[in-house]
């Protein structure tokens, strides 16, 4: 295991590995799912957590070394002198406290903030990256958007990212609140109304259907008594100045606020309800109920509310509904599901995923470790071609990218004009 602190140290490790044909698995904080950081063929773990400097920032943009923890980046960009506005990352996973920016880019998708800015891959969120080739004499290369996304969410298999330049969002004083509802329909409709309300500034809207609030109250001592037993909860981060608008909408749907913390209270307690959302919901639930597992899904933005209602009716208590409101890359409001499932057999789990597909809901199976079996869904020739340029000997996280085995036919297809590939700048 190597934990370099400078680009020269990274280059020295990479060069030595490339000369000896030793596999390299890049690691940020190791919170990635799906065994992303698990080396299947041994070799060197290249831990970038000490390569963690914020290089520069200005209103709306920051550039940082890949190993910076997201919470640390926010801490530095949120700080302002005088009455100026602070800035923060546009979307962070619920693991932002420990996870790195490079890890979000290499293995993540989006999270808190995606209700406004969509997933990390939305145009404008990642502006550029600096990446290193895996060769005896490694070279550092700058890729600007859109090519800057060619190394995104491929588990560090097609390039090593040194630096990222990302868009920032205004850092508002975020009020944290939980509203509880007796009816599922009222909860989801309030969630949707809040998520799309243009005049109510928010950072996150999460639906946890009954019985997830009860499970969380058992799992997290700080939440005990903070939600109504047997209810459906909406967890939300709303700008303090938008609280009246949020309450006005809440009145229309008959919800009741059971938890409320101002941004100052959140700051002082060093606790945020964001750490009960996204896959943290799963993590906490699994602590108290080992009979649970989960699936990940993407709804159809033209009918996500109807789909969610129909699936809840069809699957009843077997699937515990957890939805995150998120904008698509195109900007339309949608839901991402991280449904908890009462596990019986693998066959039934697959059936449940199929029922979602039959309802037009896309499944990103979290129970697989190959890039193409997960969210990507199929071999992407551009990703394979990028790997050929950055990692010609196939040393990065080997065994995770199925398309690598098809590289010769992909290149032959490109040469004969059967497919066209994104062009990387020559380097
Ligand atoms: C409880 C829990 C909650 C989560 N919530 C979310 C969520 O809300 N949203 C979300 O998107 N994800 C979520 N995740 C997944 C994960 O936490 C995030 O993706 C996180 O950003 C990963 O950061 P990390 O530093 O831990 O990365 P790691 O786990 O260290 O790495 C992830 C992948 O990226 C690669 N990688 C890391 N750094 C680099 C680099 N510099 N260059 C190239 N490749 C690199 C690694 O090889 C690995 O394949 C969650 C996971 C858990 C366990």
Residues 236-250 have pLDDT tens digits of: 999 999 999 999 999
Statement: residue 83 has pLDDT above 70: no
Give the pLDDT of residue 422. 80
pLDDT-derived band at 43 (thresholds 50, 70, 90) equals: very high
Best residue for ligand 1 mutational test, from 45, 108, 121, 395 (most atoms within 8 Å of Cβ): 108
Residue whose CA lies nearest to ligand 1 atom number 39:
102
pLDDT-derived band at 427 (thresholds 50, 70, 90) equals: confident
Q: Which residues line ligand 1 (CB under 6 A)?
A: 25-33, 36-37, 48, 66, 93-95, 99-100, 102-104, 106-111, 155-156, 160-161, 278-280, 283, 397
Q: Which ligand 1 atom lies nearest to the CA of residue 109?
A: 11
pLDDT-derived band at 100 (thresholds 50, 70, 90) equals: very high
Yes or no: is domain 7-170+382-415 CATH 3.30.465.10? yes
Residue whose CA lies nearest to ligand 1 atom number 9:
93
Yes or no: is domain 174-363 CATH 3.40.1170.10? no
Is the fold of 7-170+382-415 the same as that of 174-363?
Answer: no
Give the pLDDT of residue 81. 67
Q: How remote is the CA of residue 107 from the centroid of ligand 1, in Å?
A: 4
pLDDT-derived band at 205 (thresholds 50, 70, 90) equals: very high
Best residue for ligand 1 mutational test, from 2, 28, 401 (most atoms within 8 Å of Cβ): 28
- Give domain limits for the chain: 7-170+382-415, 174-363
Give the pLDDT of residue 357. 97
Q: Percentage of residues in the chain with pLDDT exceeding 70? A: 99
Give the pLDDT of residue 85. 81
Q: How remote is the CA of residue 34 from the centroid of ligand 1, in Å?
A: 10
Q: How remote is the CA of residue 285 from the centroid of ligand 1, in Å?
A: 20
Question: If residue 80 lies in a helix (H) or strand (E), which one and from where to where?
Answer: none
Residue whose CA lies nearest to ligand 1 atom number 12:
108
pTM above 0.95, yes or no: yes
Q: How remote is the CA of residue 93 from the centroid of ligand 1, in Å?
A: 8
Statement: residue 384 has pLDDT above 90: yes
Taking only the tens place, the pLDDT of each residue in 139-166 is: 999 999 999 999 999 999 999 999 999 9
Give the pLDDT of residue 195. 98
Give the pLDDT of residue 82. 63
Beta strands in 250-367, from DSSP E residues, in sequence order: 256-261, 292-294, 297-298, 319-320, 322-327, 333-337, 340-342, 362-363
Q: How remote is the CA of residue 316 from the centroid of ligand 1, in Å?
A: 32
Q: How remote is the CA of residue 374 from the centroid of ligand 1, in Å?
A: 14
Statement: residue 342 has pLDDT above 90: yes
pLDDT-derived band at 17 (thresholds 50, 70, 90) equals: very high
Residue whose CA lies nearest to ligand 1 atom number 19:
108
* pLDDT, greater one: 423 or 258: 258
pLDDT-derived band at 15 (thresholds 50, 70, 90) equals: very high
Strands 362-363 and 297-298: antiparallel
Q: How remote is the CA of residue 38 from the centroid of ligand 1, in Å?
A: 12
Q: Which ligand 1 atom lies nearest to the CA of residue 131?
A: 42
Dihedral sign computed on CA atoms, order 181, 272, 58, 126: negative
Q: How remote is the CA of residue 232 from the centroid of ligand 1, in Å?
A: 29
Q: Which ligand 1 atom lies nearest to the CA of residue 70?
A: 21
The mean-pLDDT minimum among 129-133, 202-206, 284-288, 410-414 falls in 410-414
The mean-pLDDT minimum among 6-15, 234-243, 392-401, 414-423 falls in 414-423
Beta strands in 269-397, from DSSP E residues, in sequence order: 292-294, 297-298, 319-320, 322-327, 333-337, 340-342, 362-363
Q: How remote is the CA of residue 156 from the centroid of ligand 1, in Å?
A: 10
Lay out the sheet containing 174-181: strands in order across.
Answer: 256-261, 174-181, 232-239, 202-208, 322-327, 333-337, 297-298, 362-363
Report the alpha-carbon distance of residue 393 to residue 69 in Å, rounded: 30
Q: How remote is the CA of residue 251 from the centroid of ligand 1, in Å?
A: 38
Radius of gyration of the chain, Cα coordinates, nearest whole angstrom: 22
Residue among 132, 107, 110, 131 nearest 119 (CA) = 110
Q: How remote is the CA of residue 9 from the centroid of ligand 1, in Å?
A: 23
Best residue for ligand 1 mutational test, from 25, 32, 97 (most atoms within 8 Å of Cβ): 32
Residue whose CA lies nearest to ligand 1 atom number 13:
93
Q: Percentage of residues in the chain with pLDDT exceeding 90? A: 94
**Exposure on the CB side of residue 112, measured as CA atoms within 13 A:** 28
The mean-pLDDT minimum among 67-71, 359-363, 410-414 falls in 410-414
Residue whose CA lies nearest to ligand 1 atom number 16:
32
Statement: residue 290 has pLDDT above 80: yes
Record the tokens describing residue 93, joined without a space.
């996973």
Q: How remote is the CA of residue 130 from the centroid of ligand 1, in Å?
A: 18
Helices and strands (DSSP H and E) totals, the chain: 13, 19
Taking only the tens place, the pLDDT of each residue in 298-317 is: 999 999 999 999 999 999 99
């Amino acid at each position: 295991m190597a934990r370099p602190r400078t680009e020269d140290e990274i280059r020295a490790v990479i060069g030595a590995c490339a000369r000896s044909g030793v596999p390299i698995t890049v690691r940020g904080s190791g919170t990635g799912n799906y065994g992303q950081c698990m080396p299947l063929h041994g070799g060197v773990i290249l831990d970038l957590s000490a390569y963690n400097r914020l290089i520069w920032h200005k209103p709306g943009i920051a550039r940082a070394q890949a190993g910076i923890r997201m919470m640390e980046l926010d801490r530095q960009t949120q700080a302002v002198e005088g009455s100026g506005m602070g800035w923060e990352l546009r979307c962070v996973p619920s693991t932002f406290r420990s996870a790195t920016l490079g890890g979000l880019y290499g293995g993540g998708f989006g999270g808190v903030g995606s209700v406004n800015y969509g997933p990390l891959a939305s145009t404008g969120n990642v502006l550029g990256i600096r990446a290193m080739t895996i060769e005896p004499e490694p070279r550092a290369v700058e890729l600007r958007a859109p090519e800057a996304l060619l190394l995104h969410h491929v588990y560090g298999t097609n390039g090593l990212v040194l630096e990222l330049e990302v868009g920032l969002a205004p850092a508002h004083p975020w009020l944290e609140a939980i509203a509880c509802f007796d009816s599922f329909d009222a909860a989801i409709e309030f969630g949707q109304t809040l998520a799309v309300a243009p005049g109510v500034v928010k950072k996150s809207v999460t639906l946890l259907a009954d019985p997830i609030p009860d499970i969380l109250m058992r799992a997290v001592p700080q939440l005990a008594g903070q939600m109504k037993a047997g209810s459906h909860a909406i967890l939300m981060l709303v700008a303090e100045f938008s609280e009246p608008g949020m309450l006005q909408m809440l009145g229309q749907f008959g919800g009741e606020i059971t938890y409320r913390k101002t941004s100052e209270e959140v700051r002082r307690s060093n606790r945020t309800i964001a750490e009960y959302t996204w896959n943290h919901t799963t993590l906490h639930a699994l602590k108290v109920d080992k009979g649970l597992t989960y699936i990940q899904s993407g709804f159809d933005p033209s009918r996500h509310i109807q789909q969610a209602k129909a699936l809840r009716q069809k699957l009843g208590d077997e699937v515990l509904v957890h939805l995150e409101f998120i904008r698509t890359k195109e900007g339309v409001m949608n839901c991402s599901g991280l449904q908890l499932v009462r596990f019986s057999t693998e066959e039934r789990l697959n059936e449940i995923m199929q029922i979602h597909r039959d309802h037009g809901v896309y499944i990103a199976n979290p129970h697989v470790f190959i890039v193409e079996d997960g969210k990507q869904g199929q071999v992407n020739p551009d990703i394979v071609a990028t790997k050929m340029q950055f990692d010609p000997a196939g040393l990065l996280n080997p065994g995770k990218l199925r398309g690598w085995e098809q590289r010769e036919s992909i290149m032959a297809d490109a040469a004969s004009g059967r497919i066209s590939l994104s062009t990387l700048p020559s380097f």
